[in-house]
């Protein structure tokens, strides 16, 4: 089934690196199915939720968990489109939030305050735009490195 799934993914035009990650993540999912004695034709919503819970119990980062969940969703889509299953068993599985809503609101609030500060210093619109963009990229980098978590 792995070869057919990877061929399906290749037909969608994904990059070589994405295919490499899908392959690795799919191997992880296959191992979990084997350890839990689940056959592909038995996969259902409860299994998708159980796998998500299993991933959360391990020491993976949120980014890695979300990538693995993406693989399961794509595999579920593949099984449904190729009529192996009569429903998309993982369609409902959502990613873990990368940042808490309160952190997002706090950073948005801080960015707004910084913009007001730059306005009060009579910075040009293009300078403000560039500074705000830089700050947003910096916050995104902090999130991706889990520095603020």
Note the pLDDT of residue 110: 86
Q: Which of 115, 124, 22 is nearest to 74 (CA)?
A: 22
Note the pLDDT of residue 62: 87
Q: Which of 25, 50, 26, 24 is nearest to 37 (CA)?
A: 50
Q: Is the pTM of this model over 0.75?
A: no
Q: How far, in Å, CA of 136 to CA of 107, rounded?
A: 9
Of 139 and 148, which is predicted with more confidence? 139
Residue 138: count other Cβ atoms within 10 Å of its Cβ: 10
- Name the token pair of 145: 């490195």
For 50-90, the pLDDT digits (tens) are: 999 999 999 888 889 999 999 999 999 999 999 999 999 99
Contact in structure between 15 and 43 (CB atoms under 8 Å): no
Assign 21 a pLDDT band (cuts: 50, 70, 90).
very high
């Amino acid at each position: 089934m792995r070869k057919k799934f990877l061929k399906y993914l290749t037909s969608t035009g994904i990059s070589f690196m994405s295919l490499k990650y899908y392959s690795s993540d799919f191997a992880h999912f296959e191992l979990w199915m084997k350890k839990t004695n689940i056959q592909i034709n038995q996969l259902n919503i409860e299994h998708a939720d159980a796998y998500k819970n299993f991933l959360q119990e391990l020491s993976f980062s949120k980014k890695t968990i979300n990538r693995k969940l993406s693989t399961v969703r794509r595999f579920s889509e593949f099984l449904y489109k190729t009529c192996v299953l009569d429903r998309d068993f993982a369609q409902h599985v959502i990613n873990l939030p990368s940042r808490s809503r309160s952190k997002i609101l706090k950073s948005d609030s801080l960015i707004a305050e910084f913009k007001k500060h730059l306005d009060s210093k009579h910075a040009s619109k293009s300078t403000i735009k560039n500074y705000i963009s830089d700050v947003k990229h910096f916050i995104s980098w902090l999130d991706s490195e889990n520095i603020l978590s």
